[in-house]
Amino acid sequence: METKTAKLLDGKALAEKIQLKLKERITELQPQLGRPPGLAVLMVGDNPASAAYVRNKERACAKVGIASFGKHFPTETTQGELEDVIAALNQDPQVDGILVQLPLPQHLDSVSLLNQIDPDKDADGLHPVNLGRLVRQEAGLRSCTPAGVMRLLAEYKIPLQGKQAVVVGRSILVGKPMALMLLEANATVTIAHSRSHDLKSITQNADILIAAVGIPGLITAEMVKPGAVVVDVGMNRIADPSGKSRLVGDVDGESTAGVAEFLTPVPGGVGPMTVAMLLQNTFASYLRRLGIANAEL
């Protein structure tokens, strides 16, 4: 008998499609508007993972025609110096999006810095004003990772209305905004987390299961309802016995693939979509600031 295996939700292919459309629209609009969209990514210190993420974002900007105003600061940079940089970028007419690459060195207050960003230039969608707009279902810049998940589900025409959705994880980066976006799409949403009792009994009810906790292989096949859609937001770097490191998700993809109907791969699922949504947020901010209505890409 043929073994059933889940269909993959290919975030990499969709991200490329979005980037291609962005490139076309920027090429078309730039001559009329006199400048490209601009994104400033601020990085402090020399965290190698952060440096790789920033390079990835800058390459993606170059690919679609967004100008990068990247700034890299030494570890000892003070809170005041960064606040001055953000204040200047808020006023800079060339800059449409501002992003502070996390984590920051311990002496810096990341929440306070994120709150200094003009909400209309908040490319990461994490400012309290933008989170408030999401709660109220008002237009605003949306948190990139959950927005990327929603775009991926829409691309594969996965119905959400009336479905049981379970989000495992409650971070302000993913879990909370993810739950709000699913609610906005008329799903019935449960949020589970590290203190939830009997996680398996919660996840087994999910038509849509989103794992975003940062624990490698937490979700196993027996925790998944047959035919469910499983979205793995986890990005965990683990070393194998030979010392080589690889990326794994929060879902045990191998066993789960035999139960779920749809599954996101790691890497190549949610990660590329996060970057695509960052570019889309920057472009949306560019259009809004120039008084042009935004169209869904």
Q: Read off the pLDDT of residues 201-237 as tens digits, 9 standing for 90 and up.
A: 999 999 999 999 999 999 999 999 999 999 999 988 8
Query: What pLDDT shows up at residue 247?
Result: 87
Note whether 80 and 157 are same-domain residues. no
Please check whether residue 240 is in contact with residue 246, taking contact to mean a CB–CB distance below 8 angstroms: yes
- Tell me how far apart the alpha carbons of residues 212 and 268 are, in angstroms, rounded to a whole number: 16
Check 124, 207, 250, 252 and give the catalytic one. Answer: 124
Note whether 78 and 198 are same-domain residues. no
Q: Is 101 considered catalytic here? A: yes
10 Å Cβ neighbour count for 97? Answer: 28
Note whether 91 and 159 are same-domain residues. no
138 domain-assigned? no
Query: What pLDDT shows up at residue 297?
Result: 53
Annotated binding-site positions for NADP(+): 169-171
Region 97-117: what's the mean pLDDT?
96
As for how many domains the chain has, the answer is: 2
Q: Is 176 considered catalytic here? A: no
**Quick one: CA torsion of 191, 197, 199, 204, rounded to 10 degrees?**
-90
Q: 41 forms bridges with which residues in the sheet? A: 99
Note whether 38 and 157 are same-domain residues. no
Note whether 114 and 199 are same-domain residues. no
Residue with tokens 């016995």: 241
Note whether 178 and 81 are same-domain residues. no
243 domain-assigned? yes
- Residue 13: pLDDT band (50, 70, 90) is very high
Closest of 117, 119, 118, 120 to residue 102, by C-alpha: 117
Check 19, 101, 116, 280 and give the catalytic one. Answer: 101
Note whether 152 and 234 are same-domain residues. yes
Note whether 97 and 210 are same-domain residues. no
Check 57, 121, 163, 176 and give the catalytic one. Answer: 57
CATH of the domain at 153: 3.40.50.720
Annotated binding-site positions: 169-171
290 domain-assigned? no
Is 196's pLDDT higher than 90? yes
Region 139-164: what's the mean pLDDT?
97
- Residue 99: pLDDT band (50, 70, 90) is very high
Q: Is 57 considered catalytic here? A: yes
204 domain-assigned? yes
- Residue 289: pLDDT band (50, 70, 90) is confident
Note whether 86 and 150 are same-domain residues. no
Query: What pLDDT shows up at residue 82?
Result: 98
Note whether 107 and 177 are same-domain residues. no
Is 172's pLDDT higher than 50? yes
Query: What pLDDT shows up at residue 1?
Result: 42
CATH of the domain at 106: 3.40.50.10860
128 domain-assigned? no
Q: Which of 29-33, 35-39, 111-115, 289-293 has the lowest mean pLDDT?
A: 289-293
18 domain-assigned? no
135 domain-assigned? no
- Tell me how far apart the alpha carbons of residues 188 and 208 are, in angstroms, rounded to a whole number: 10
Q: Which domain holds residue 181?
A: 143-271
Is 296's pLDDT higher than 60? no
User: Is the pTM value of this prediction over 0.85?
Assistant: yes
Note whether 114 and 178 are same-domain residues. no
127 domain-assigned? no
Note whether 86 and 157 are same-domain residues. no
What digits encode the pLDDT tens for the residues 230-256? Answer: 999 998 888 888 888 888 999 999 999
